[in-house]
Amino acid sequence: MRTVVILLLLANLTFFAYTRLDRTSDGEANRLLEQVQPEKIKLLTPQQVAALGPAKVAALADVCLEWGPLSDTERARALADLEPLALGKLLSQRRVETAMAFWVFLAPPSNRPDAERRMAELKARGVGDVALADNGAQRYVVSFGAFRTEDAARTRVEELAKKGVANARLAPRQQTVMQTLLVVRDPQAPVVARIRDLVAAYPGSEAKVGSCEKL
């Protein structure tokens, strides 16, 4: 009799433990199902990331702001403008080929000494991003840069006029040049806002936020 009672007790304890374990397993499974919902996970395209705006962009990972393209002279000035932001290793540079459609220039003088004297006068007036062509039909032409759009070229002509260069011209000119994109990884909202404010001072440049380019 005593043996039967002990066996019944063990059987009840085993059944109780089994039901508790099974219930616990079901509960854990249910919790996992509630937590992991793959159908609700969405990957954003670069265009969708760009449309989020500065406030939400700062909360995303692997997001970059690209500013440019910039000429070598503009790049040096832009880096100086960004220095107060203390971006450190978050800031990098990428060289890109840019298709240009317009350029701004001065009609060439008859000889090289006159061209060099004109260049010296321009630099004395504080005119930057200027170069002297020395080949073919463009021999001795003083160039003030190439631009992607006519509006950007006109802005350059207006800037030159303010510095006393009243005879600068613009004309169509198809060419490809190497320029620079400044890239800021994981930009915070104040950084995005500051760079977008700077864009107006760099005709032809753009500030775009999107997924970082994979190397």
Contacts of 158 (CB under 8 A, 6+ apart): none
Distance in angstroms (rounded) separating the CA atoms of residues 72 and 155: 18
Identity of the amino acid at 55: A
Q: Contact at 8 Å (CB) between 115 and 108?
A: yes
Distance in angstroms (rounded) separating the CA atoms of residues 146 and 129: 10
Distance in angstroms (rounded) separating the CA atoms of residues 70 and 128: 14
Please provide the DSSP assignment of 122-162 as one string.
HHHTT--S-EE--SGGGTTPEEEEEESSHHHHHHHHHHHHH
Q: Contact at 8 Å (CB) between 98 and 179?
A: yes
Residue ranges of domains in the chain? 2-40, 46-211
Q: Mind listing the pLDDT tens digit of every residue in the chain (215 residues)?
A: 444 333 333 344 444 444 444 444 444 444 434 443 444 434 455 566 566 665 565 555 589 999 999 988 889 999 999 999 999 999 999 999 988 889 899 888 778 888 888 888 888 888 888 888 777 667 888 888 888 888 889 988 998 999 889 889 999 988 888 999 999 999 999 999 999 999 988 888 999 999 888 65
Distance in angstroms (rounded) separating the CA atoms of residues 185 and 77: 20
Q: Contact at 8 Å (CB) between 94 and 183?
A: yes
